[in-house]
Amino acid sequence: MNEMTTITTAKDWASDQEVRWCPGCGDYAVLKAVQRTMPDLGVAREKTVFVSGIGCSSRFPYYMSSYGFHTIHGRAPAFATGIKLANPELDVWIITGDGDALSIGGNHTMHILRRNLDCQILLFNNEIYGLTKGQYSPTSRVGTRSPSTPFGSVDRPVTPCMFALGSGARFVARGIDVHKNLPDVLKAAHAHRGASFVEIYQNCVVYNDDVFAGFTNREVAADKQLWLKAGEKMLFANGTKGLALDVERLALKVVEADDPAVIVHDPRNKGIAAMLIAMPESFPMALGVIYESPAPTFDSAVAEQNAKVSEGKKPDLQALVSKGQSWMVGKEPREL
């Protein structure tokens, strides 16, 4: 963003406010990852704005030393749109959660993605409503027991990255709160011009502990995590297995690493991206940058049109009030 190189440290990005998440919350790890990433981006604090909605994750802006706006439930994308259109020089980050972005704010998430506003959207997915004390969320799996679903939830969850892809997102990525790769994912999101959608699996120790253990636990991580890298083969299980296309079923299949059919990751391939996102539990979890295909951004299109249609026009207020068909009434008021 900034033309001059801004040298900062992770510490420079921490605000003086006491962090108030539950001990052990995954949010701490994400906060640290973001604060560690910011210096590497070479951006200025004063040109950075963190915008959030409501929920545990949405307290995030208070803990960053940049500008921050903690808004209302689900609406952060709309505020961010106004901010970015008003001042395209600002580097805008949206911090949101599964309830905030996909339940009450689903509409705005869809529209910011299809418009492709230049910003980073970090969706902290913990599959639960934390701040309201543990109700199930739109990403909770069927059968989730919670105060509002004592017999288990019966509605089917949304897949955030699939929602993003379907909404027209041009950058879709996944990360894990405590994983060392998260800063790389954040950097890629920042480097992308347009709406960068990042789903971060975030563990809620109080209401939904270990819900992602099936692919985040150390013992299973190698077999259950597929970290995608552009131009590299889709390998996992310590490089022993890979993904290939089952052409007859038009689906992905697991093959041995030396199989020549192992797919090389091309982030511009939307079809494969959709398959990667939708892989069933028996497959590894696709992580990293799943899809990236840049397109003109909303803010630049608005700015260009504003400039283009204003070209050669003088903002003449007197001419504006006098517009249309008008008539003169002479000096002397007419007699009755």
Partner 1 sequence: MATATHVLTPEESEAHPPQEAVVVRFAGDSGDGMQLTGGQFTLSTALAGNDLATFPDFPAEIRAPQGTTFGVSAFQINFGSCAIDTAGDQPDVLIAMNPAALKVNVKALREGGLIIADEGEFTARNLAKAGYDQNPLEDGSLAKWQLVHFNISQLTLDAVKPFGLGNKEALRCKNMWTLGLALWMFDRDREPIVDWLKSKFAKAPELAEANIAALNAGHAYGETTEMGGVHKHHLDAAPAEPGLYRTVTGAEALSIGLVAGAQLAGLDMFFGSYPITPASPLLHHLSRLKEFGITTFQAEDEIAAVCAAIGASYAGQLGVTSSSGPGIALKTEAIGLAIMTELPLIVVNSQRGGPSTGLPTKTEQSDLYQAVYGRNADAPLPVIAARSPSDAFECAIEACRIATRYMTPVMLLTDGYIANAAEPWKVPDTSKFAPFPVSFFDKAPAEGEGVMPYARNDELARPWIKPGTPALEHRIGGIEKAPGSGNIDYSPEAHAEMTRIRAAKVDGVADSIPDQDVCLGEAGAKLAIVGWGSTYGPIHQAVRRARGKGLDVAHVHIRHIWPMPKNMAVLLKGFEHILVPEMNTGQLKTLLRDQFLVDAKSLPKVSGQPFTIAEIEAAISEALK
Residues that bind partner 1 (CB under 8 A): 15-17, 44-47, 49, 51, 54, 61-62, 64-72, 75, 77-83, 85-87, 89-90, 107-108, 110-111, 302, 305-306, 309-310, 313-315, 317-318, 320-336
Q: Is the CB of residue 87 less than 8 Å from the CB of residue 41? A: no
* 3-class DSSP state of 164: helix
Q: Indicate the residue among 93 and 283 with the shorter CB distance to partner 1.
A: 93
Q: Indicate the residue among 249 and 331 with the shorter CB distance to partner 1.
A: 331
Q: How far is the CB of 92 from partner 1 (least distance, A)?
A: 9
Q: Indicate the residue among 22 and 274 with the shorter CB distance to partner 1.
A: 22
Q: How far is the CB of 66 from partner 1 (least distance, A)?
A: 5
Nearest to 288 by CA among 188, 163, 160, 221: 188
Q: Indicate the residue among 28 and 69 with the shorter CB distance to partner 1.
A: 69
Q: Indicate the residue among 247 and 329 with the shorter CB distance to partner 1.
A: 329
Phi, psi of 209 (to 5 degrees): -60, 135
Beta bridge partners of 110: none
Q: How far is the CB of 292 from partner 1 (least distance, A)?
A: 24
Q: How far is the CB of 206 from partner 1 (least distance, A)?
A: 21
Q: Indicate the residue among 180 and 334 with the shorter CB distance to partner 1.
A: 334
Q: How far is the CB of 157 from partner 1 (least distance, A)?
A: 23
* H-helix or E-strand spanning residue 51: strand 48-52
Place of tokens 């079923």: 249
Phi, psi of 187 (to 5 degrees): -65, -40
List of residues 6+ apart from 179 with CB closer than 8 A = 216, 287
How far is it, in rounded angstroms, from Cα 244 to Cα 235? 10
**Tokens at 106, concatenated:** 């689903």
* 3-class DSSP state of 138: coil
Q: Is the CB of residue 242 less than 8 Å from the CB of residue 255? A: yes
How far is it, in rounded angstroms, from Cα 142 to Cα 48? 39
Helices of type H across 152-288: 160-166, 182-191, 213-216, 218-224, 270-277
Q: Is the CB of residue 94 less than 8 Å from the CB of residue 122? A: yes
Q: How far is the CB of 154 from partner 1 (least distance, A)?
A: 28
Q: How far is the CB of 198 from partner 1 (least distance, A)?
A: 21
Beta-strand ranges (E) seen in 53-194 are: 67-70, 91-97, 119-125, 128-129, 135-136, 171-176
Q: Indicate the residue among 85 and 178 with the shorter CB distance to partner 1.
A: 85
Q: Indicate the residue among 83 and 123 with the shorter CB distance to partner 1.
A: 83
Q: How far is the CB of 186 from partner 1 (least distance, A)?
A: 20
